[in-house]
């Protein structure tokens, strides 16, 4: 079973690294699982990424004021390869699987 646990976002920042962080006007969800495809020792996870409406600072040498950015929902896919001990029952209970993808760290922890 893969549970959907809400995304915890900390220390988000402006893409330029100069201006303050955007002001989110809702909840950011990096990945809400919608379906799973089993492909041998891998899982294809299909989900949604939801970005809320936000006010983003205008860059260009001053970060003066903000402009609105409309939120969006888009489909995302993630391929997860599990180590053999997950399939043979040799993994210790509660052992987390960590995978890195595009600067993000995904953590999967088996639950009874």
pLDDT band at 2, cuts 50/70/90? Answer: low
* Cα–Cα distance measured from residue 101 to residue 107, given in angstroms and rounded to the nearest whole number: 11
What would you report as the CA-atom Rg of the chain, rounded to the nearest whole angstrom?
18
Reported as a single tens digit per residue, the pLDDT across 4-26 is 888 887 777 777 778 888 899 99
List, for residues 28-76, the tens digit of each pLDDT value: 998 898 998 888 777 888 999 999 999 988 876 678 888 999 999 999 9
pLDDT of res. 6 = 86
What integer pLDDT is reported at residue 31 of this predicted model? 85
- The rounded distance, in Å, linking the Cα atoms of 17 and 38 is 39
Length of the chain: 112
5: helix, strand or coil = coil
The pLDDT, as a whole number, for residue 48 is 94
pTM attached to this predicted model? 0.63
User: What integer pLDDT is reported at residue 111 of this predicted model?
Assistant: 64
């Amino acid at each position: 079973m893969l549970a959907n646990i809400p995304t915890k976002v900390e220390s988000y920042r402006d893409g330029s690294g100069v201006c303050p962080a955007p002001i989110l006007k809702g909840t950011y969800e990096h990945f809400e699982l919608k379906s799973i495809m089993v492909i041998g020792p891998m899982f294809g996870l299909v989900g949604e990424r939801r970005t809320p409406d936000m006010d983003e600072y205008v860059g260009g040498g001053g970060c003066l004021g903000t402009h609105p950015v409309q939120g969006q929902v888009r489909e995302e896919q993630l391929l997860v390869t599990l180590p053999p001990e997950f399939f043979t029952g040799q993994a210790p209970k509660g052992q987390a699987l960590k995978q890195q993808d595009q600067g993000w760290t995904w953590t999967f922890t088996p639950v009874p």
